[in-house]
Structure 1
């Protein structure tokens, strides 16, 4: 090995060691690797920046930006409320079906984040019996299509970088469907092995939130249970005000009537869950304001508001603001928001108008704390435009009519022009960390190849594989990627292993597609460790799981998944 190969090998080994043994973000580690490659002369700035124009990377960024707009729609939120029933079997398969199918098209991390709260707040089953299945079904669903997970798009970006056309949209579908549904069945059969863990209490201050049932609401005539109002994320239906009378406690059998005032307590950041329920209007909406950015204030001890109600003082006119929610530490609240007598120290969450900041009575009445950002509620037309536009883009790509990246560019432009998203949101959600990982990994792959290190390593390995089937080499690549994804992260594992898979393909004169698929599927197969995949991390912290829980359930799932994927690859490509 010459000095260049030694330098590149050292950077590569240190990068893997840092990913495994430190708690630094992968983006920071790959950034340091890029600096080391630049500083040692192994890469030029032009070569490194070339990764920013990679089509796979551009497609991935567009998908993530559009997924944030899709997350504003009410579809997943409405379905999430109806997932869990008294039957564990029904609950499991509803959860698996929704998560598996939606993860095939949408960002699976965002899906799990959206569904964790309905699962943890359900009244029927311990959340620990459902959260590991939630994560695993998202992982499995992500392997069904090209856009199901960022891992697939990362491998696709490496293929394109090497001059290959890349994956077709449905290249993953056969393997992902068979492996995913089989593992879903196995996971259900192993559900008695899932732990029964008491969920830790969420760390938030409870607010008091009012919503009115509209006269034409579809909730009318159905019970609390039938309307799934007991499965709202981090919100509890505490009481109902009906024609001036208080109904409390609220039992599941109570039937909703028009004009009912529903009083919720819980996490104010979950107000958007209420705004997506059809026929339910928040107190702030009836007062003419409900904005994306909300302001939290505390009533001062000198305020003229003390011992008066919102109605008596004409709060909306006085401050150009409407109260979304009220919190009073140390004392429970009851009744409608407009009838509560305010006290010094009360926390109010306000939807403020354009004149709020210019009012000269703010400092006399409030201490202004912070602003809260809530997802903007879309109109029915905007919802249809978002979901319909995305499905049309996917269909056009799957049928090879319009390239995926091109379709996503036009869809994103449409979302901006229609006001569904805007420049500030796009800037805020730009996945900078993921971009750094991919650009750094692409640069490291170029350095490995240009230095001749991959060729040297493959020359050492080739005599061991000479005379054997290419399938043996594919199994070796798959298992190494599988091991790496459990130790680091799925994206990093795919990025680090692809260059070696490509080198073996060239040396064995084997077809590249099965090797690329093997890297992609293995990198997504993080079932044993809670740290290898983002969805595992989300449920790990939400349910107080231990590593042993993932090992007990994940080992059989990983073994079945690997057996099916490798067998299908062998027979599909006659390896």
Structure 2
């Protein structure tokens, strides 16, 4: 074996060790490995950075923007409320969760889908007293299984398809992989839900819920033209609020202090809520509710461009001792007080009539310049922006959904390529203001994209130095000349690599090996490419095996052994199904 191949093998081994035994960030490890190979002359600059021009990587980036458009318009939240509903038992809750999660993940990249569903599922579990540890791993696994059904369901599929296009000029259609992905997903979901009692632990989350002493009193109005009119309190989702509750209902001047869950909402009803800031933020985002104070509509700009902040009134604040209205808070600070918290006690009365005191914590809605303008003033003791508090652009939710649907349709029918459809959809999301330019930029998960792109450089080094061919020959020697045994060997090695490093990196590293094996056996590379897609996507046995597994680690309160107990059986079941189906659809 030549020196370049030995050097590449050493770099790859060092990268695997760093990712397995240290907490080093994957993007840092892969960029470092590419830089070493570039400086050593193993790869050219063009090979080292070829991943940044790969169609799969660019498509993944565009899909992040598409999902951001759905998120900022409230489309995802609406779907969650409509689909999850009110489960009567834990098994029903798991069925309600995993089916839609798998479906959405088939058409939206599964990583951002899980990212958006985690807080919704946490709230859902709290509302209905469900063990969150019995929901988070099923959520991740269902999203992974759903992602195997289409080309855009997971970034791994797009990356491998990009490699196929580079090597053979022949890629896959949007639903081509469904021939194997759908059986794998169905068998995986049924296995997971039938044996859920033994697979998933009942454990408290590692992130403990701490009671927040700041309880705000917030008034909201039922929009006469909104979707909540005619629904009961329970049907509207206002009965079980995590960290909050509906205290009173004011209807045409008549106060209803003990509101029945079956009370039907009418347009113009004034609802008084009490709760922590997270609950207040959720109410601000709910379609069909508007702030009771009309001051928010007198601020400059769209509500979606503003944010919520918590500020503590100081003893030198000009509005201390005055009511919110008399102190002209909006004119003075270009911000609106939505709610007031005072030493854990409930502050009664309309917001405009509340007389502010030093030490009061105010929940205010303001534009992006509020914090910078008032940070150094003595009017407030403390000031902090509430994360993810922008109000969704509900009026554009339908438009965002239509853009995503059009993207899927044109890509499916072959009118344009998946890359072109994703780029067009991302552009339309920005142009139609479904997502702001800043929101589009922040939606890109740069660590993931950089890891994928850098892995292409490492894969090129394995190919150029002949290391991939040597590894392929080794696998062929073990598996003999039987194509199916070689497919099984590549599937197994890819699955092991994926369990200890990232799925996309494992796929990129194994593709040149598969290409070499197909060449040695003089058979089609397509079955091996499909096997790599499934092995790298359907990874359940470790937290680092797939990004969604890592995302639910903390919220679910899991231990590493929990993944082994649930993931290894699921890996074996899905692997057997994949290896049985692939040769039947894509012949060698």
TM-score exceeds 0.5? yes
Instruction: Determine whether 1:531 maps to 2:536.
Output: no
Match of 2:208? Answer: 201
Match of 2:89? Answer: 87
- CA pair 161-216 structure 1, distance change in 2 beyond 3 A: closer
- Secondary structure (helix, strand or coil) at the match of 1:363 reads coil
Instruction: Determine whether 1:374 maps to 2:389.
Output: yes
Q: How many residues align?
A: 572
Match of 2:71? Answer: 71
- Secondary structure (helix, strand or coil) at the match of 1:201 reads coil
C-alpha distance after superposition, 1:382-402 (max 9, x if no partner): 222221112111111111111
C-alpha distance after superposition, 1:319-354 (max 9, x if no partner): 322123433344444554334332212222322369
CA-CA distance at 1:161 after TM superposition: 2.7
- Secondary structure (helix, strand or coil) at the match of 2:336 reads strand
Match of 2:469? Answer: 455
CA distance in 1, matches of 2:194, 2:268: 46
- Secondary structure (helix, strand or coil) at the match of 1:298 reads strand
CA-CA distance at 1:459 after TM superposition: 3.3
TM-score (norm: length of structure 1): 0.91
Match of 1:476? Answer: 489
CA-CA distance at 1:167 after TM superposition: 2.1
- Secondary structure (helix, strand or coil) at the match of 2:363 reads strand
Instruction: Determine whether 1:311 maps to 2:325.
Output: yes
Match of 2:155? Answer: 150
CA-CA distance at 1:458 after TM superposition: 2.9
CA distance in 1, matches of 2:373, 2:163: 57
Match of 1:414? Answer: 428
C-alpha distance after superposition, 1:287-326 (max 9, x if no partner): 3243433444221112243343323433323432212343
CA-CA distance at 1:528 after TM superposition: 2.0
Instruction: Determine whether 1:263 maps to 2:304.
Output: no
- Secondary structure (helix, strand or coil) at the match of 2:568 reads helix
Deviates more, 1:511-520 or 1:44-53: 44-53
- Secondary structure (helix, strand or coil) at the match of 1:237 reads strand
TM-score (norm: length of structure 2): 0.89
- CA pair 550-458 structure 1, distance change in 2 beyond 3 A: closer
CA distance in 2, matches of 1:423, 1:73: 14
Select which of 402, 406, 415 maps to 1:392. Answer: 406
CA distance in 2, matches of 1:553, 1:457: 31
Match of 1:242? Answer: 250
Query: Unaligned 5+ residue runs, structure 2?
Result: none
Greater length-normalized contact order (CA 8 Å, ≥ 6 residues apart): 2
CA distance in 1, matches of 2:576, 2:150: 20
CA distance in 2, matches of 1:519, 1:329: 58
Task: Check the 8 A contact 1:218/1:278 in 2, yes or no.
Answer: yes
Task: Check the 8 A contact 2:411/2:418 in 1, yes or no.
Answer: yes
Select which of 222, 226, 230 maps to 2:235. Answer: 226
C-alpha distance after superposition, 1:420-465 (max 9, x if no partner): 2343333333332223212211111111111122223333443333
1:35-184 equivalences in 2 (<5 Å): 35-82=35-82, 83=84, 84-120=86-122, 121-184=126-189
CA-CA distance at 1:102 after TM superposition: 0.5
- Secondary structure (helix, strand or coil) at the match of 2:182 reads helix
C-alpha distance after superposition, 1:92-122 (max 9, x if no partner): 2221221111010112222222222333233
- CA pair 446-274 structure 1, distance change in 2 beyond 3 A: same
Task: Check the 8 A contact 1:129/1:196 in 2, yes or no.
Answer: yes
CA distance in 2, matches of 1:443, 1:155: 14
Select which of 527, 536, 540 maps to 1:514. Answer: 527
- Secondary structure (helix, strand or coil) at the match of 1:85 reads coil
CA-CA distance at 1:281 after TM superposition: 0.3
C-alpha distance after superposition, 1:249-290 (max 9, x if no partner): 665344434433333455545656434433210246653243
Task: Check the 8 A contact 2:137/2:556 in 1, yes or no.
Answer: no
CA-CA distance at 1:23 after TM superposition: 0.7
Query: Unaligned 5+ residue runs, structure 1?
Result: none
CA-CA distance at 1:376 after TM superposition: 4.9
CA-CA distance at 1:229 after TM superposition: 1.9
CA distance in 2, matches of 1:512, 1:464: 19
- CA pair 227-378 structure 1, distance change in 2 beyond 3 A: same
Match of 1:547? Answer: 560
Deviates more, 1:96-105 or 1:264-273: 264-273
Match of 2:7? Answer: 7
Match of 2:417? Answer: 403
Task: Check the 8 A contact 1:81/1:231 in 2, yes or no.
Answer: no
- CA pair 86-339 structure 1, distance change in 2 beyond 3 A: farther
CA-CA distance at 1:33 after TM superposition: 0.5
- CA pair 550-432 structure 1, distance change in 2 beyond 3 A: closer
Task: Check the 8 A contact 2:16/2:500 in 1, yes or no.
Answer: no
Select which of 239, 264, 280 maps to 2:289. Answer: 280
Task: Check the 8 A contact 1:242/1:261 in 2, yes or no.
Answer: yes
- Secondary structure (helix, strand or coil) at the match of 1:520 reads helix
CA-CA distance at 1:173 after TM superposition: 0.9
CA RMSD, aligned part only? 2.8
Deviates more, 1:43-52 or 1:303-312: 303-312
